[in-house]
């Protein structure tokens, strides 16, 4: 933040030269008033002196200085330049010109002015401080610090020096030293509002947000309507997870200074916190229109990523890097976008750049681990997540992703132990029934044990296989699941009641999430229990309802479009056409279909639409039992088909879900299922072409 200046004063017209007055006497009178801070009284006298002598050096210089002091650096420039045209030998005039130029964002020219001032007067402390400010404005933080330290070595001790030295230290990511510099500035001027505000930013860098909030409150008490200070207050409130209050700060800052790009950028982040992504993007676009800066592009990229528009996010980060190749945040963000786009090698290059710029940032090895997972290099991924955890032992997302790699590698004990980190992940829903004792293994509870679903329908179907094991140990169980699964699971042996989500759970003595059962029961690859076949009284009826001109092939081409990985797993229905050979009747076994697939379905006589008949999961199970084989993408129907023991051929993307592990054509979770993996350099057509013709084993 720049040193605060006084509010602007409108230029006054020149007065007629009083009788007997000379330009020198008028300039002297003006200077006396100027020194008392009476700028409105001093300015007309300077102008009167210049009316009498337009080349009067002192009046030109001091009127320029007055305009700069009044908060009008643009108005100061002509007078300072004219003064130097008269006499360029005074270092202090070059220094004042440099200050005005830096204030106007012309830091390169300002730097040259300060260097000229120091050349003329090496001991001019103000010029050395200004030199440091110009270097800071140019992003040359190490040089800025050296410039400020050279001023200190010559005896400079003004509050502005310490404040601006703190800014340079913050730019060098040295917040502890920056905080000490701001404290030194405040010790010399307790009412220095900008130093209090800057102190708040250093405290926020150190994650001391409550202290930072107190410090920015002092700055706002000294300057209640300072837009920059309001912006800083909002940033701190965001860090304290108070986004509504933060947004109010940003809105007030924008009302006071509509062209303050930083406030629009900060507002974008607060709106993202609140899940208002479209509004956030509009705010990011406004910030970018006000400032075509690397920061504005980076901010827009982050918003686009949250909207799932990763290609645009990657382009926005590339724009940020064109403006600031040293932006570690943009390298990191671009790498994340490339991971989402499946361009993992390029992503690794980005993370290497980010790590070189920001060593010690735990998010970078974490993101590198995600890219390595995408490449199937899970051992290296586990090492990368371990690096992130060493930097931040509480980094639950790193622990969680390491668990996914362990599970993919078939190391189930390590994987399911780390899987428990899901409850501590950012934005993860809170554990339901947390008020009840958690059972994670050992003797089964003497009373009722509530088992409850927590993730997708397929996860629930996969994990209820543990219920017979618990029943064999004498457990009395209640089961809470997603409402569509209640009819399918109602008759499970050993379960006293099946409760749909949203209804009160009966009294119970302990609880366990379904996805924690493999950990609780000590699962290894060799002890995975068999799936439950879900007997259906409707199976015989479906055998008679469906036409049977030949082999029956069930097809599932897509899943829930809201699923985070859906674009990797869902396949256009038309790509399944080669399977509909003579003697094969296809049946669509899913309840939703993309608009683009409807036309193919309507125009393909060999493919029957079962959607109107699939009223619940018991009907879907009966339809699957009527199939000779099923080919599907990774959805809940795949789990149901595998549980029913149907010959199932699962098409999985290059980065498969953890349960399908690596390199295997079979899976211990579903013995009747075969896995068909798409390589990173091929399309789904090639995978489908490799499927054997019916009859399938």
pLDDT in tens, 146-191: 998 998 998 889 999 999 999 999 989 899 999 999 999 999 999 9
Res. 12: pLDDT tops 70: no
Binned at pLDDT 50, 70 and 90, residue 10 comes out as very low
What does the pLDDT read at residue 525? 95
The confidence band for 564, taking pLDDT boundaries of 50, 70 and 90, is: confident
Fold (CATH) for 263-424: 1.25.40
Of these ranges, 31-35, 403-407, 433-437, 534-538, the one predicted with the greatest mean pLDDT is: 403-407
How far apart CA 470 and CA 251 sit, in angstroms, is 56
In percent, the amount of the chain with pLDDT more than 90 equals: 75
Sign of CA dihedral 607, 613, 616, 622: negative
Parallel/antiparallel/unpaired status of strands 607-609 and 510-513:
unpaired
Residue pair 555/632 in contact by the 8 Å Cβ criterion: yes
Where residue 15 falls among pLDDT bands split at 50, 70, 90? low
Question: For 280-298, what is the mean pLDDT?
Answer: 94
Report residue 11's pLDDT band, with 50, 70 and 90 as the boundaries.
very low
The answer to whether residue 71 scores a pLDDT higher than 60 is: yes
Question: Do 448-527 and 545-689 agree at the fold level?
Answer: yes
pLDDT, position 431: 84
255, 257, 283, 694 from 263: Cα distances, Å: 10, 9, 9, 63
Select from 3.40.50.1010, 3.40.640.10, 3.20.20.70, 3.40.50.2000 the CATH code of 545-689: 3.40.50.2000
- Please state, in angstroms and rounded to a whole number, the distance separating the CA atoms of residues 547 and 613: 14
CA distance 125 to 127: 5
For residue 137, what pLDDT is reported? Answer: 87
DSSP 244-301: HHHHHHHHHHHHH-TT-HHHHHHHHHHHHHTT-HHHHHHHHHHHHHH---HHHHHHHH
Predicted confidence (pLDDT) at residue 278 exceeds the cutoff of 70:
yes
pLDDT band at 55 (very low <50, low <70, confident <90, very high): very high
527-552 average pLDDT score: 86
**9 pLDDT tier (thresholds 50, 70, 90):** very low
What's the pLDDT score for residue 655?
Answer: 87
Average pLDDT, the chain: 91
Show me where the domains of the chain are located.
Answer: 263-424, 448-527, 545-689
Domain 448-527 falls under CATH 1.10.10? no
Whether the predicted pLDDT of 316 surpasses 80: yes
Chain position carrying tokens 């795949």: 638
Lowest model confidence (mean pLDDT) among 19-23, 52-56, 453-457, 482-486: 19-23
Write down the pLDDT at residue 695. Answer: 60
676 forms beta bridges with 651
The pLDDT confidence band at residue 662, using thresholds 50, 70 and 90, is: very high
Whole-model pTM?
0.76
Q: What is the DSSP string of 155-202?
A: T---HHHHHHHHHHHHHTT-HHHHHHHHHHHHHH-TT-HHHHHHHHHH
Q: How confident is the model at residue 368 (pLDDT cuts 50, 70, 90)?
A: very high
């Amino acid at each position: 933040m720049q040193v605060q200046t006084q509010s602007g004063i409108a230029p006054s017209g020149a007065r007629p030269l009083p009788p007997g007055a000379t330009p020198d006497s008028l300039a002297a009178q003006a200077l006396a008033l100027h020194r008392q801070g009476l700028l409105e009284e001093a300015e007309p006298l300077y102008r009167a002196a210049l009316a009498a002598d337009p080349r009067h050096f002192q009046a030109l210089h001091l009127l320029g200085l007055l305009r700069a002091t009044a908060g009008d650096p643009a108005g100061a420039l002509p007078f300072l330049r004219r003064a130097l045209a008269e006499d360029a030998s005074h270092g202090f005039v070059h220094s004042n010109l440099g200050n005005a130029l830096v204030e106007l964002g012309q830091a390169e020219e300002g730097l040259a002015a300060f260097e000229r001032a120091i050349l003329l007067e090496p001991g001019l402390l103000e010029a050395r401080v200004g030199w440091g400010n110009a270097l800071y404005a140019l992003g040359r933080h190490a040089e800025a610090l050296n410039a400020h330290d050279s001023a200190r070595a010559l005896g400079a001790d003004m509050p502005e020096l310490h404040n601006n030295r703190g800014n340079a230290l913050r730019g060098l990511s040295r917040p502890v030293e920056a905080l000490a510099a701001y404290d030194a500035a405040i010790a010399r001027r307790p009412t220095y509002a900008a130093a209090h505000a800057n102190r708040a930013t250093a405290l926020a860098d150190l994650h001391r947000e409550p202290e930072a909030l107190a410090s920015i409150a002092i700055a706002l008490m000294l300057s209640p309507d300072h837009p920059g200070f309001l912006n800083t207050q909002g940033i701190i409130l965001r860090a304290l997870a108070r986004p509504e209050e933060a947004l109010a700060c940003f809105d007030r800052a924008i009302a006071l200074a509509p062209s303050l790009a930083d406030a629009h950028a900060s507002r974008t982040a607060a709106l993202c916190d609140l899940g208002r992504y479209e509004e956030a993007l509009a705010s990011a676009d406004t910030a970018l229109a006000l400032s075509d800066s690397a920061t504005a592009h980076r901010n827009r990229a982050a918003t686009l990523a949250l909207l799932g528009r990763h290609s645009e996010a990657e382009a926005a980060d590339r724009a940020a890097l064109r403006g600031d190749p040293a932006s570690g945040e943009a390298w990191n963000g671009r790498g994340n976008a490339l991971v989402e786009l499946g361009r993992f090698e390029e992503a690794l290059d980005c993370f290497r750049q980010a790590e070189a710029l920001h060593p010690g940032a735990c998010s970078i090895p974490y993101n590198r681990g995600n890219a390595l997972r995408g490449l199937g290099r899970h051992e290296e991924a586990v090492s990368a997540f371990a690096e992130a955890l060493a930097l931040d032992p509480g980094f639950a997302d790193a622990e969680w992703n390491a668990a996914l790699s362990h599970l993919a590698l078939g190391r189930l004990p390590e994987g399911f132990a780390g899987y428990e980190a899901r409850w501590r992940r950012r934005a993860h829903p809170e554990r339901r029934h947390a008020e009840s004792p958690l059972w994670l293994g050992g003797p089964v509870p003497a009373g009722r044990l509530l088992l409850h679903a927590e993730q997708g329908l397929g996860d629930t179907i996969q994990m209820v296989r543990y219920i017979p094991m618990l029943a064999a140990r004498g457990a009395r169980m209640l089961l809470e699941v997603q409402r569509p699964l209640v009819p399918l699971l109602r008759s499970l042996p050993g379960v006293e009641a099946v409760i749909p989500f949203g209804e009160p759970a009966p009294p119970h003595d302990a609880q366990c999430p379904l996805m924690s059962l493999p950990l609780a029961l000590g699962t290894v690859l060799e002890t995975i229990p068999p799936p439950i076949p879900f007997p259906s009284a409707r199976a015989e009826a479906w055998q008679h309802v469906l036409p049977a001109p030949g082999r029956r092939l069930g097809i599932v081409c897509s899943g829930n479009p809201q699923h985070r990985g859906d674009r990797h797993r869902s396949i256009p229905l038309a790509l399944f056409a080669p399977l509909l050979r003579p003697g094969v009747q296809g049946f669509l076994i899913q309840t939703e279909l993309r608009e683009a697939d409807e036309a193919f379905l309507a125009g393909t006589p060999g493919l029957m639409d079962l959607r109107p008949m699939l009223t619940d999961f018991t009907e879907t199970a009966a339809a699957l039992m009527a199939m000779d084989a099923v080919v599907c993408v990774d959805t809940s129907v795949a789990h149901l088909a595998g549980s029913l023991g149907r010959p199932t051929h699962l098409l999985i993307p290059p980065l498969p879900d953890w349960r399908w592990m690596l390199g295997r054509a079979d899976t211990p979770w579903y013995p009747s299922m075969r896995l068909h993996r798409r390589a990173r350099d091929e399309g789904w057509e090639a995978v489908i072409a490799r499927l054997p013709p019916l009859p399938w084993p």
